[in-house]
Structure formats: structure tokens, C-alpha cells
Amino acid sequence: MFKLFSAFRKDKVWDFNGGIHPPEMKTQSNGTPLRQVSLPQRLIIPLKQHIGAEGELCVKVGDRVLRGQPLTRGWGRMLPVHAPTSGTVTAIAPHTTAHPSGLAEMSVIIDADGEDRWIERDSWSD
């Protein structure tokens, strides 16, 4: 975290590339139903998803993962980061993410298999 803060300079204004800021044109889209977006072929999941330390990595390159499978172990009050779909871990490396600093963050890169298979889930009684 301190490494991230040291990259900031008080006299620099950071530009944030991204975000969705559409003009208000609801009349053009309110006649079209919502539809399901297809899965991307590659997903980049930053290991750090909150203030605080990253969780401990519990997958390695080449591992097959299932949707919902923990990619990290959280400690204390931290929660693990989970795989968003099924596929293969192809890299664990720094990657630029949607952060105003533009700095690379350690990420797990998953090539999706298109099957979107879940891990076995426990049911909860009502």
C-alpha cells in the first residue's frame, strides 16, 4: 500500500480513463430489451480489491478453476477473491487495472473455457 502512495505526487492531477458517463438519451433505448452479454475470452482479476493487503494466492499458472472458486485466502476481516468463471489460469502478473494512478497491480489472468461451471455450492436452509 505504501508503494502505491509513494507513486502519488501532490502536484499531479490523475486522469481516470474509463467509467460510463452516457448522456441522458433513455428514449432511444427504452424500446430495446436488456440482453445477456457473452463471457469474455480472457479475464484479468486484480488480487487487491480493497484497502489493505492482498490475500494469499492459492492458485498457480496452469490451474483449472471453476466459477466461485477462491483465488486467494483472506486473513482476518479480508475476504478471498473468487474466479468469475471457469477456465485456466494463464498468468499471475502485474497488470494495469481501473485505478486512477494507472499503476499495474498483481492480477490473476484466466482464459475462460466458455462453460461457466460453478464449484460445488453448499445450500442454506431457510
What pLDDT is attached to residue 103? 86
How sure is the predictor about 66, in pLDDT bands with cuts at 50, 70 and 90?
very high
Set out the domains of the chain in order of their start, with CATH numbers.
37-117 (2.40.50)
Vertex 95 angle, CA 62 and 19, to 5°: 125
The tens digit of pLDDT for each residue in 4-56 reads 666 665 566 666 677 777 677 777 777 778 888 888 999 999 998 877 778 89
pTM of the complete model beyond 0.95: no
Average pLDDT of the segment spanning 77-87: 92
pLDDT attached to residue 63: 98
Q: What is the DSSP string of the chain?
A: -HHHHHH--TT-PPP--------S-HHHHTTS---PPPPPSEEEEES--SSSPPPEE---TT-EE-BT-BSEE--TT----B-SSSEEEEEEEEEE-S-TT--EEEEEEEEE-S--PBPP------
Q: Which residue carries 492458485 as its cell?
A: 59
